[in-house]
């Protein structure tokens, strides 16, 4: 009975009911207060047979909602929970392995640096005797420092990869722009050729038409002459025939006059020569003759510049024969072929045999360098230019001419050259520089070349460009 009476509501003195604020609140077994009217209403709403507490029901309902929400948010993740009986904090199975020793049930408060694992105090005494250990906070900081050190090269590599990716994207855009520009220049060149061929075709057709008109006119004049002679002769014949048709007296009377008319001597027409179209003249070797004339608009350059090797402060002309120094960096890809510390550009074709020659117009350019460089010359770093580094050049700098050797030999010139001739004899190992106007020798390198070399051009004068001169094209018929 005593136990049964404890489960019934008891008077609570002057405590107010939290629902209707009535002073006749009852003390419920759960420790909450509720008046009889609210208790009856609660039982009716909740469908309970015994006394029910709205506060307890609301708390259970809220706990159920929160638990469902937490389960959905942290599904599959270890999280803390509270044991209702003792109020002590515990963890689920996944987290327990990290915070409590699976062997001894003690908190994992130490970290064995020798075995690199979390241990409890009992583990230190029993299985890790003589091992170095530290508290978990200190171990965590040390491990984080090691992890940061391990991440640093990865982060640096990530930055390198991002930079390379950006460079590839920029290069892709430049390739498209370069292709469109080159396409436009190709179309312009072929349009010039088409225009030239169109003019030549028109000239050839016009020449044919003129010859046709001349010879047609000549034949017309001959036809007119023959027509006149035919008409005169036919008239004489007709007169004689008419006279012979008259009576004898009349015929004899007019015989002498008729006979005199028939005595006219008609000469055979002269053979007219050169009357047909000279087909051979119009069609014979027509392609060769057109090509021969085409040399007036076609220029041969012994060396063509490669813009992909040009320093970003240099500008190469559309015909790839002239290099200007702008003094300002252009937005160009930093491709491996491009020079970074020398204001230079290379020829597009390398040489590993034979003899080669090209003339360069230096004009009034105040700072320039000419020569050849080896294919393996470093292009992304600066070093003193000399043959030991794979660079054979002469230059004009600060008003003085030098051969770029280890000792930087000074050159004495009688007059300022405006055109410099560069001659390479690969097999003999000779690289000669001379004044193209009179072949005065400026300097000669002697070196046994063992790898491909490329023509080298450098210009740091803003006012005047360097220009490769066109060569003479000779046609030899075998």
- In tens, the pLDDT along 394-452 reads 999 989 999 999 888 889 888 999 999 999 999 999 999 999 999 999 999 999 999 99
- Per-residue pLDDT tens digits for 116-126: 888 887 787 77
**CB within 8 Å of 320: residues ≥ 6 apart:** 301, 304, 305, 306, 307, 348
Contact 360, 419 (CB under 8 A): yes
pLDDT-derived band at 96 (thresholds 50, 70, 90) equals very low
pLDDT-derived band at 49 (thresholds 50, 70, 90) equals low
**CB within 8 Å of 145: residues ≥ 6 apart:** none
CA distance 204 to 287: 12
User: Hunting for tokens 């960096």 — which residue is that?
Assistant: 329
pLDDT tops 50 at residue 88:
no
Structure tokens at 206: 């016009």
Calculate the CA 428 to chain-centre distance. 40
| Mean pLDDT, the chain, integer | 83
Mean pLDDT of 15-37: 70
Contact 20, 38 (CB under 8 A): yes
pLDDT tops 70 at residue 78:
no
CA distance 314 to 328: 8
CA distance 397 to 408: 12
In DSSP terms, 467 is beta-bridged to 322, 361
- Selected residue with higher pLDDT from 72 and 265: 265
| Dihedral over alpha carbons 269, 273, 279, 282 (to 10 degrees) | -130
Structure tokens at 219: 């034949």
**CB within 8 Å of 45: residues ≥ 6 apart:** none
Length of the chain: 478
Position 373 scores a pLDDT of 96
Which DSSP symbol is given to 15? P
Position 15 scores a pLDDT of 67
CA distance 324 to 310: 10
Centre a 10 Å sphere on the Cβ of residue 187 and count the other Cβ atoms it contains: 11
Dihedral sign computed on CA atoms, order 158, 160, 163, 164: negative
Position 102 scores a pLDDT of 79
User: Hunting for tokens 């054979």 — which residue is that?
Assistant: 392
pLDDT tops 50 at residue 103:
yes
The arrangement of strands across the sheet holding 344-346 comes to: 344-346, 453-459, 368-374, 391-397, 400-403, 409-411
pLDDT tops 50 at residue 341:
yes
Q: Kindly report which listed range (36-40, 97-101, 166-170, 372-376) carries the lowest average pLDDT score.
A: 97-101
Position 11 scores a pLDDT of 58
CA distance 190 to 18: 99
Angle made by CA atoms 188, 194, 199, in degrees to the nearest 5: 130
Contact 28, 38 (CB under 8 A): no
CA distance 173 to 333: 10
Contact 266, 229 (CB under 8 A): yes
pLDDT-derived band at 85 (thresholds 50, 70, 90) equals very low
Position 64 scores a pLDDT of 64
Centre a 10 Å sphere on the Cβ of residue 358 and count the other Cβ atoms it contains: 20
Position 367 scores a pLDDT of 95
Contact 362, 396 (CB under 8 A): yes
């Amino acid at each position: 009975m005593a136990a049964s009476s404890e489960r019934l509501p008891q008077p609570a003195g002057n405590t107010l009911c939290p629902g209707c604020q009535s002073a006749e609140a009852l003390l419920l077994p759960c420790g909450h207060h509720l008046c009889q009217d609210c208790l009856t209403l609660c039982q009716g709403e909740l469908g309970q047979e015994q006394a029910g507490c709205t506060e307890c029901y609301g708390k259970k309902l809220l706990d159920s909602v929160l638990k469902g929400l937490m389960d959905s948010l942290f599904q599959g993740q270890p999280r803390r929970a509270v044991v209702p009986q003792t109020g002590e904090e515990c963890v689920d199975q996944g987290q327990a392995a990290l915070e409590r020793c699976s062997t001894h049930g003690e908190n994992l408060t130490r970290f064995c640096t020798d075995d690199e694992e979390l241990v409890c105090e009992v583990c230190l005494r029993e299985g890790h005797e003589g091992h170095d250990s530290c508290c978990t906070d200190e171990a965590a900081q040390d491990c984080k420092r090691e992890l940061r050190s391990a991440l640093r090269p990865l982060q640096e590599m990530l930055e390198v990869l991002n930079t390379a990716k950006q460079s590839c994207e920029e290069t892709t855009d430049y390739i498209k722009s370069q292709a469109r520009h080159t396409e436009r220049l190709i179309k312009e060149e072929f349009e010039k050729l088409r225009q030239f061929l169109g003019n030549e075709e028109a000239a050839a057709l016009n020449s044919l038409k003129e010859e046709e008109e001349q010879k047609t006119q000549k034949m017309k004049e001959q036809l007119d002459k023959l027509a006149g002679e035919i008409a005169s002769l036919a008239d004489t014949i007709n007169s004689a025939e008419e006279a012979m048709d008259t009576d004898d007296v009349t015929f004899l009377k007019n015989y002498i006059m008729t006979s005199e008319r028939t005595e006219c001597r008609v000469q055979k027409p002269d053979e007219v020569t050169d009357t047909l179209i000279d087909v051979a003249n119009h069609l014979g070797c027509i392609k060769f003759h057109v090509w021969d004339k085409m040399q007036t608009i076609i220029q041969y350059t012994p060396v063509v510049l490669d813009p992909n090797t040009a320093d970003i402060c240099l500008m190469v002309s559309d015909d790839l024969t002239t290099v200007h120094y702008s003094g300002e960096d252009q937005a160009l890809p930093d491709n491996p072929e491009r020079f970074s510390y020398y204001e230079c550009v290379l020829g597009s074709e390398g040489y590993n045999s034979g003899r080669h020659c090209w003339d360069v117009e230096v004009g009034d350019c105040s700072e320039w360098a000419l020569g050849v460089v080896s294919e393996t010359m470093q292009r992304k770093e600066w070093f003193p230019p000399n043959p030991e580094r794979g660079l054979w050049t002469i230059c004009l700098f600060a008003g003085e001419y030098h051969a770029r050797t280890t000792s930087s030999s000074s050159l004495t010139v009688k007059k300022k050259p405006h055109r410099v001739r560069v001659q390479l004899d690969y097999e003999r190992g000779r690289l000669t520089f001379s004044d193209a106007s009179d072949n005065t020798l400026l300097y000669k390198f002697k070196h046994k070349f063992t790898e491909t070399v490329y023509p080298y051009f450098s210009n740091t004068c803003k006012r005047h460009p360097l220009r490769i001169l066109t060569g003479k094209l000779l046609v030899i018929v075998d």
